[in-house]
Amino acid sequence: GGQFDATNVLRDDVSVITTVGRDHADELGDDRESIAERKAGIIDPGSKVVYRVSGEPGHVISQVAERVGGEEVTSIADVSFSRCDGEVTFDVIYAGERTPSKLVAGYQTENIETAVTVLETLDGIGSELGNIVSETVVEFTLPGRMEVAQSSPVCCGGGRT
């Protein structure tokens, strides 16, 4: 991922870095700071930069953004979540609208916040954003990845980063 990833051949309006973990240390570096530096290689001059990384790796991403002329987006979208009366799923609350979702894992709520932040940075969406978020959240599923298989609950967690 990042600087040497095959997807890094296009100029982006928004560059997004969700996490900096050690799961790809073989390719990206020995420590989280090195990995952050490599991942930040996706930042294009003039692009908006959205990231949910704190500590020293976050500082590294910030430095790379400044060095290449990326514009940091520092506020994460105002999205909140509530567990439904003992249910496994979350409701998504955005722009005052509560939308039931099939989300079951905490990381999925962070992904929704990040995605909405990206949408908020794009020009031309405006007042339609609330509808886009609601429709997407209602329809979104990721079978086999934190999927509730029965009401007990049993969650399936297969997947790869």
Query: Each residue's pLDDT tens digit in the chain (161 positions)?
Result: 677 778 778 888 899 888 787 766 677 778 889 888 988 999 999 999 998 888 898 999 999 999 999 998 876 777 776 665 555 567 787 877 878 777 767 777 778 888 888 888 886 666 677 788 888 877 777 676 656 666 555 555 555 55
Candidates 62, 48, 43, 52; CA nearest to 20 is 52
**What per-residue confidence (pLDDT) applies to 110?**
79
Per-position DSSP letters for 29-97, written without gaps between them: -SSHHHHHHHHGGGPPTT-EEEE---HHHHHHHHHHHHHHT-EE--S---EEEEE-TT-S-EEEEETTE
